[in-house]
Structure formats: structure tokens, C-alpha cells
Structure 1
Amino acid sequence: MTTGMSWDVAVIGAGIIGAACAWRLAERGLKVVVLEQGSPAGGSTGKSAAGVRAQFTSATNILLSKHSIEEYASMPEAGYHPGGYLLLVPETQWPSYQVGVDLQQRLGVPTERLTPTEAQVHAEFLPDGLGGCTYCGTDGHVDAHGLTMAYVNRARALGARFLLDTRVTGIQRFSETWQLTTSAGRVEAPLLVNSSGAWSGEVGALAGLEIPVQPARRMVFTTGPLKLPRPLPMIFDLESGVWLRSEGERIILGRADPADVGWREGMEWNWLEPTLEAAITRFPWLEMASLDRRASWWGYYEVTPDHQAIVGQMPGVEGWLNACGFSGHGVMHAAAIARVIAQEALGETPFIDLSPLRFERFERVPQGLIDIQV
């Protein structure tokens, strides 16, 4: 059977990226069908720590976050909390990192340079080895699940159809149309948006495409209640890779394990000890914290070789748009990504330069600064 309608665009994945794209595409008058193997925000989106920041080192990423955060701030459903991001930068990285701060400020992001002593107003930490700190008060976090459902509801109100619990098992191009074999029947559309998160590489393989996205498991550890003098912003220690922030009376924290790639499931409790050791070195007061194992969780990042997203038209493949591989930046960038994907779909020039994120970059030698991954 088929879905009974002809569609202009098929979006694969109903995480925050796919849901936002569905809304913006429907807003432009396109007939949109979304195929989701589970439920909206049921994958990486719902397991995200939901941080949003514009403290990047490339103009494209800065602008994607800046415009997205502005949209979230206008949406009550987003639960946008501008609690700030505080970055602790080692001496060796401080001179080059200031180039990124200058760029952020030129683009209208209110990032501040702080000495380690000045930064103590936001959190208590040991300053050993730091060259400086940066803080942006418009960074913060959102309710990723509530935000995704808001996009789903907006897309549905404009006629988009969401086929949930529907797995895509085959993708072929016939003439000017993509034909998708799914557990709900056949779906056809001339345009396809691959926004399937950690599964994006597998979705590409269904069409015979090599899209370099793979899953990487991430742990989020949650403490018991702590009495702190003030809520903590999202803090990222660039030296150790540890991040943490307040979540009510608790602290959530994590640290990427670069070896934890592939389809691994469940909490990796062996990663707790090295994470805490690195965290306590910078934040000795964490020694007083207890751990709430039941409140801790895990999820997948969708990572690419350079830890940057793949966005836009797939070269040499008519009607295939990528919006995947965000490597932990999906919630931060979703709102703006949806706008540029809609522009790409209609043959318009995106309002943000996508060239650093296009697939073609894998054919070039990468240059420039690599943005941090948290």
C-alpha cells in the first residue's frame, strides 16, 4: 500500500532537526511527510543535555546558534533558560581561542573575556593551567522534548503528516522521485531530507550513499541534591573535557569517551570514575556530592570525521538534502537549520553560508579552528 497522497518532500527522522524542518518546509507551502521509526524526540533529542550556545569559532556555527537561540527565546514551549555558558580555556589555547571570541562579538554574540579570578562569580573552580575564561549570558539550555513537540504541532497544523513507529527499509530514485519502502507502505516524493540523527549513515546506505555519520554513546551523570551558593551555568573545562551544570538542586555532568562509538547500549558505569577524577581536579567541591544512578542517563551523538554537521544538497544526487551529523550541536542549531533546509529545497540561497558544512568538504583538506564538542 501507499500513504494515499503525493508528497513534495519526505523527511526521515522526527527528532528536533526533522520536526523543525517539517514545520519550515510546510510553512513554505510544501506537502510534507515525516517518517519516524519511534516517536518524536525519542532518540538523541530526548536524551540530550539540551545546552544551547553561540560560543563557536566559525561564523557559520555562531550564526546557526545565534538565530536558533533567538527563535527559542520567542517560543514559550522551548523552556529557554539563559543560564549562561562558562568556558575554561587552557593557557595553550587561550591566544587562538580569542580569535573566536572576537568573531562572536562582531556577529552580535555578547561573549565576555574573564580572568579565572573574575569567573569565580559564576562558579568555584581551581584555576591551575588556565589562560582565561569566556562567558556568554544568552547561552543556556532548553526543554528539547517540549521544543520538538512544538515543531511537530506547528508542522501538523500546516498539513504535514507524521508516520510514527514507521521504519524505512529501502530507498530508490526513479526518474525524478524518491521511492521509500517503509513498514507503513510505499512513500514517494521528489525531495528527501535525511535528518535521522545517529542513524543517518544507515539511511544513506539504503540509497547506496556513503554518508560519514556514526553513533557515539554519551553518559550524563546526575548527582543527588547539593547545597550550592548559586546555580551553576553550563561549564566546560576545555583541558579535561568535563562539562557540568545545575539541574534544579542537582548537578549533571559528563565527559566524552572518544572510544565509545558504535551501537552500544546502556550506562557505562566504568566511565564514571575517570569522569569524576577529571571533574574533581577542577571542581574539588564535587567530592561532597552523591550520585543518583536512577537519574543518570545515556544517549547517542551523531558524529562525523570532523565533528561538524553535514547540511544541504548531496552532491551529484538529485533531491537529497542532508541535515545530520551534528555531533552534539543539533539542539543548538535546529531552528536555523530548518530555515536553511527550506531555502535549499526551494532553490534559494540560504541566509547563512553553509559551505563549511556541505558534504563537499570531505574532498578538501580541512583548515581553520575546530569547534569544541559539548
Structure 2
Amino acid sequence: MGESAVYTADVLLIGAGIIGAACAYRLGERGLKVRILEAASAPAMGSTGKSAAGVRVQFSEPTNILLSWESIQEYRQMPEAAYRPIGYLFLVPESEWPQHHKAVELQRSLGVAVEELCLEDAQHIVEFNPKGLAGATYGPADGVVDPHGITMEYLRRSRTLGVELHLEAELLRAFRQGGVWRVETRRATFEAPYILNAAGAWAGEVGKRARLEIPVQPARRLVFATAPTGWKHNYPLTIDLASGFWFRSEGERVIFGKSNLAEVGFSTGMDWAWLEPTLEAGLDRFPWLAKTALDRKASWWGYYEVTPDHNPILGRMPGVEGWVNACGFSGHGVQQAAAVGRLMAEEIAEGRAATLNIDPLRYERFSSRARVAERNIV
């Protein structure tokens, strides 16, 4: 690309993570000319590639349940997704049981199989200290996938539909002019009637460069890994809702973590000081973790893209012609990407998403009292 080159499209899609790739594929199916602008030197280098790879339907709000459930159905049919239904096990404190029970009733009413377990039955799945707990819930269709494999497959399908991927194409400035968005990068300029912001942890910064306020911030999250344990295990992704500590099997290892909710911004590297409070919470509930050894080289970090209510921002930007958001997933992007791709294609090609009501996740909620009160945030 020369410096004076101008490339046109119907949609400029910012970000080649799993959300951007799914959206590109579905837009390409609609016959739209799509160009993906990715700041990194390869796809899936941000939150997608650093994800703990879980997919679950155990949410408390209908929109989140359905976004995840419909995505899991698609991943089941995609060999590249490497979907493994290892399950999610929630250990629920006494104070949270009434609300959690209501969430299970909602999940079941939407056609999702979720089980309520007494503490004794839950102990047959994972050994834990039952102090302060009322019960557990288990989602047998929840599990893990290969986010990188899914992203690359969507991009492969996209290429067959004429979608073009531009790497090292960081959006430096974007402005609306003559009925199109004009995007400037270091190598070229791009023009299209639509921009779809799927920039993940960088979505807020992308908005600023277009003089838009998009409430998405990066938040570093750490995944600690043990050395091979020396015993056979197939632990589901288990979450102690009392502390926020989670873990699951990863081959012969156990991976685990706990979100530092005070951390916001582009911090980099492993925060080893956070290991102590993480382990303190983990050992209190799961004393057997003391038998494991940490493998620092196998541990990793990445970013959540968080919004004020920890729910994504989907759909058209109010009062801004041709700008659509699919960002702010707050750790739920991998598990909702397949459904979001279809919905954003509807939003752009048909004028409005139709197969699922995304109104609770639209930008307008931030200027009203109609916030989505999702309780099952990890």
C-alpha cells in the first residue's frame, strides 16, 4: 500500500479478534464489501488469544443467556472450535442462592439444561470446603473452545466471500465526510459508509480517535497455571461465587484466577503480587490446591474490555450516522461471538438486529435507568 492509497468498502471493521472475525463472515455472507483493519501483525493477538476459553449459559439476564446459547450451538458444529463440554460448576453462597435459583429457572425456561445440586452431590465433581455455601449449579453444555481456531476459521470463510484483512493498520483518525467514514492509518486511507467497532480492549480508544465517547476500558486479567499435578483430573470450570476464585483442568495442569476489580488500564505483564490474594481465596475453598506447584512460565495475562455494567455495547451509535459497536464484552466475547456476528450483520444490512432483541445492550442504556443487571459476572 502506498501512502496515498485510498481503499473503499461497504463496512470498515475495526479489529480481527473473534468478534470482528464473526461479524466479517456474516457481513460477507450478505454480499457486503468488508475490510478488516487490525492494528497488530496477526489476528487474535488481543483478548481472543489470551482468553481462558470458557463458554457458558449460566447468566441471569435473558439476552446474555441466549447470546451464549446460540453461539454454543454454532461452535458445536464447527470442528475448528474444538468445543469440549466440560461443564461450569458455580458454588453459591447462602446469601446469593435465592437470586441464583431464579436465574436457573430463567435459563431452563429458555431451553437450557442447568442442574441444581446439593453440596454433597457437588462434592462428587470437585472437592471443596462447603462453609457458607447453600448449593451449586452445573451447566453440562458449558465448557471450553479454541478461540484462535474459531477466529481463523471465520477469517478463512470470510476470505472466500471477498473480505479483505489489513494487518498493521491501526486506526489513527476517523471522521465522517460526504456520507462516508474516512479512516486514516499509517499506510493508507479507507472509506466506507459504515464502521463496525470490534476493537476489544481498544474500543474506547478507537472511539476517541473518532471523537466519540464509548465507555470501554481495558482491565488486565491473570491466568495462573500449575505444573502437571501428578494425578488424573477433569475439573469443570469451577467458580466460588463467594470470592470470585475460579479454576479448571487444562490437560495435566490446573489453571486458575481471580479478577482484580480495582485494576483498570493498559497495565502489562504478570502481576505476581496478585498471586497471594488469589491463592488465599482458592486455598480457603479448595485446600487440595496446596498439593500443586505453580508454573510461572505457563501462566499468562490478557485484557478484559469492560463497560460500567460489565455488559457489551451492541448496535448503532445514537446520533452518529454509520457507526456500529460490538465491543465491551467484559470477558464474554468468546462465548457470544457467533451470535453477535449474525446480529451485527442484521443491524447493518437490514437496519436493525431482528433475531434477538439487543435493546438491553444498546448504547442508549447509559443515559437511562434501563441497565442490564447481570449478576453472574466472573
TM-score class, shorter-chain normalisation, is: over 0.9
Match of 1:93 in 2: 96
1:134-173 correspondence runs (5 A): 134-173=137-176
2:150 counterpart of 1:184: no
Distance (whole Å) between structure 1 residues aligned to residue 276 and residue 142 of structure 2 = 29
TM-fit CA distance, 1:34: 0.1
Match of 1:307 among 277, 294, 310: 310
Cα RMSD, aligned residues only: 1.2
Per-residue CA distance 1:282-308 (angstroms, 9 max, x = gap) = 000000100000000000000001111
**Percent same amino acid at aligned positions?**
55
Match of 1:240 in 2: 243
TM-fit CA distance, 1:165: 1.3
Distance (whole Å) between structure 2 residues aligned to residue 349 and residue 298 of structure 1 = 34
TM-fit CA distance, 1:2: 5.8
2:125 counterpart of 1:122: yes
Match of 1:339 in 2: 342
Q: 1:109 to 1:46 in 2, by over 3 A?
A: same
2:41 counterpart of 1:36: no
Match of 1:292 in 2: 295
| Aligned-partner residue type, residue 62 of structure 1 | I
Per-residue CA distance 1:163-196 (angstroms, 9 max, x = gap) = 0111110100012100000122100000110000
Gapped runs of 5+ residues in structure 1? Answer: none
Match of 2:362 among 342, 358, 370: 358
Q: Is the 8 A contact 2:361 2:372 kept in 1?
A: no
Match of 2:281 in 1: 278
Q: 1:88 to 1:98 in 2, by over 3 A?
A: same
Q: TM-score, normalised by structure 1?
A: 0.98
Q: Is the 8 A contact 1:2 1:187 kept in 2?
A: no
TM-fit CA distance, 1:5: 4.4
Q: 1:267 to 1:349 in 2, by over 3 A?
A: closer
Match of 2:324 among 298, 321, 324: 321
| Aligned-partner residue type, residue 357 of structure 2 | D
TM-fit CA distance, 1:255: 0.2
Distance (whole Å) between structure 1 residues aligned to residue 244 and residue 356 of structure 2 = 29
Q: Is the 8 A contact 1:88 1:238 kept in 2?
A: yes
Gapped runs of 5+ residues in structure 2? Answer: none
Match of 2:259 in 1: 256
TM-fit CA distance, 1:4: 5.5
| Aligned-partner residue type, residue 66 of structure 1 | W
2:109 counterpart of 1:106: yes
Match of 1:7 in 2: 9
| Aligned-partner residue type, residue 352 of structure 1 | L
| Aligned-partner residue type, residue 363 of structure 2 | F
Q: Is the 8 A contact 2:315 2:326 kept in 1?
A: yes
Q: Is the 8 A contact 2:90 2:137 kept in 1?
A: yes
Match of 1:72 in 2: 75
Question: Alignment length, in residue pairs?
Answer: 374
Q: TM-score, normalised by structure 2?
A: 0.97
Distance (whole Å) between structure 2 residues aligned to residue 19 and residue 268 of structure 1 = 30
Per-residue CA distance 1:338-361 (angstroms, 9 max, x = gap) = 000000001144211101110000
The DSSP-based 3-state class of the residue aligned with 1:168 is coil
